[in-house]
Amino acid sequence: MSKQIKVALIGNPNTGKTSIFNSLTGLNQKTANYPGVTVEKKEGICKLDRGVKAHIYDLPGTYSLNASSMDENIVVELLLNKNHKDYPDLAIIVSDVENLKRNLVLFTQVKDLKIPTILAINMSDRMKYKGIELDLSYLENHLDTKIILTTNRTNLWTDTLKDLISNYNKLPSNKFMDPQLIDPEYFKNLQRTFPEQDLYKLWVVICQDANFTNVDKNFLDGADFEIKSISELKRLQQKETIKRYQLINNILKLGQKVDQSKAIGFGAAMDRILTHKIFGYVFFCLILLGMFQAIYEWATIPMNYIDSMFASITGWVKINFPSGAMTDLLADGIITGIGGIVIFVPQIAFLFMFISVLEESGYMSRVVFLMDRIMQKFGLSGKSVVPLISGVACAIPAIMATRNIESWKERLITILVIPFMTCSARLPVYLIIVALVIPNETILGVNYQAVALMSLYIIGFLAAIFSAYILNIILKMKKRSVLVMEMPNYKIPLIKDVLYTVIEKTKSFIVEAGKIILAISIILWFLATNGVGDKFKNPEKYVSQKIELLTENELQTEMAAIKLENSFIGNIGKTIEPVFKPLGYDWKIGIGLITSFAAREVFVGTLAVIYNIENYDDSKGKQRELKNIMRQETDKNGNKIFTLASGISLLLFYAFAMQCMSTLAIVKKETNSWKWPAIQFIIMTLIAYIVSLIAFQLIS
């Protein structure tokens, strides 16, 4: 059995930890949550020499061991608990070359916990542009560590870093600072009281009374030592930080040279434009419009290919497999259901790609800063901006991200309004309905469908901030948090990092959605192909009187329609149809709305299964394109089902309705009560129903 070295990647936010993680692990990585909490955990395998493997953990970003959020809490608890299964053999502290002094505070704290530590100074390619020179020998000697210069632009440094990881047991383990410098009398008393304990680790444990963490402090019970108040502990923490900065400054005076004339330049000029109180919003809107235009235009070719591929697979199955229920299930249920959602993967992948580029370039942080001005006016915390923007990808991690909001009321408001943000699961629904009811035409080079899609995102955002304003009044919020964040440097996004993100997010979308769609497609197929009563068993009796005028295909189609309407799913749909009829929906759309509560993207898969079963076509087994089938769908009076009125109504319903059952579950977990998700579900459903009703009645 090969040996494994556990390596923790630790660093301030925006120092490039993820890029180093990707370089070391490639695609040998997975994402999960830490047990018992909703903080993302990334881990991967890095192969070293002689069959040794390094288990790499990309820990959440943290500024110091004085934890003030759940993310920082995870880091501190792991580093203090040697019995934890992920306790690292080695810590790699990732720092930004332009903010080395601040990053070294965390480095010195981790080193003082007696964990073998390597300092990785990232973005080293920017040194010559910023006028930075480093004396690495001097820094290694005085920081008592091994230092490696890394850059996101090449992987030439990876072999050196792997060699350092392999020989981690040769790293020096001397402490950086004597903790008695903080308060000599207090720390001498601590040492006398707990002679067996490491003094600095003891101090970090004691400080958790003033921090966010909840580490094991049982060994302190009954001890005769001075118990300081939280305010006194905070004062000593500040004193510790000052002492560390003094020591770091003395080292950097000789170990680092900075040409101040080059320190400020391009970034400051860009910030004046991108965060301008007027032009900043204009630029952001133009980026969004361009993004949605590209999503429609760039994805056309791969979508057409996927559509024809699934149609060919269905036809091949029907021709080459023996006739029977299992073949029908495979062709009309499973393949059709999954194909109905996979066709939208290119557009979803492009969405993730654009979001990744915005984040990697440093622009997303400017958007957060820009939108904070609006957020505060509507009663949201400045720290709510990041979860809200994250909600564009998925509401679940976005709700998890509210853990960094200290005020419970501010956090609760953010959790309750995040589901209004348009998530990627809604995108397949939007795309197919917009394609049905909005003309594929342009004005001044801008596609109407792209404008419609962008409008839905804006509607979701406006609904979120207006709801926050109402909740702010109801919950009587007075004091709000102030947004404190660091603006990362602008940089050209790395293709490999963007690809890793797109692959990981798209794969997660396909796997998670695929499991649900597969299960629901099988259930729907069974309900649609089975039933009771004479109309289901003998549909030929109820075919049009002009049977002699029908072709064989038309006859089969009409019989299939009668069977479907009188199947189990048809009867269920007819039962609930009166509820949705005022909104312009027939029973099939009603079935889609209900099944899509499992996951929004299931709506398209549901209609794919229902319409494929109804629209019989035996010409080489090839099915008609779902959009064309939906476009031709009519009611008993010959009126089209999908009109501008019903389409806009359906889009608005999905814009305002609660996203899915998984979102409800995570809201319950984060609020520790079913009260808030129940209120959230009822109110959002009522809003969605009323808005859709008004829209349909007005437009029709």
Please give the pLDDT value at position 652. 93
| Range 397-408 average pLDDT | 70
Which are the contacts of 515, defined by CB distance < 8 A and separation ≥ 6?
none
Please give the pLDDT value at position 620. 38
Q: How confident is the model at residue 622 (pLDDT cuts 50, 70, 90)?
A: very low
Please give the pLDDT value at position 164. 92
SS3 401: helix
Across-strand partners of 55?
A: 6, 45
Which of 300-304, 556-560, 679-683 ranks highest by mean pLDDT?
Answer: 679-683
Q: How confident is the model at residue 494 (pLDDT cuts 50, 70, 90)?
A: confident
- pLDDT above 90 for 565: no
Q: How confident is the model at residue 31 (pLDDT cuts 50, 70, 90)?
A: low
Greater confidence (82 vs 351) lies with 82
Greater confidence (222 vs 252) lies with 252
Q: How confident is the model at residue 80 (pLDDT cuts 50, 70, 90)?
A: confident
Q: In the chain, what are the domains?
A: 1-263 (3.40.50.300), 515-642 (no CATH)
Please give the pLDDT value at position 219. 56
Please give the pLDDT value at position 8. 92
Please give the pLDDT value at position 33. 45
Per cent of the chain over pLDDT 90 is 14
Rounded to whole angstroms, the Cα distance separating 660 from 673 reads 17
Angstrom CA distances, 590 to 18, 314, 333, 607, 613, stand at: 43, 26, 19, 10, 17
Render 29-73 in DSSP notation, one character per residue.
EEEEE-TTS--EEEEEEEE-GGG-EEEEEEPPP-S-SS--SHHHH
Residue with tokens 């939007």: 430
- pLDDT above 50 for 38: no
Q: How confident is the model at residue 308 (pLDDT cuts 50, 70, 90)?
A: confident
- pLDDT above 80 for 424: no
> In this structure, how many other beta carbons lie within 10 angstroms of the beta carbon of residue 516?
20
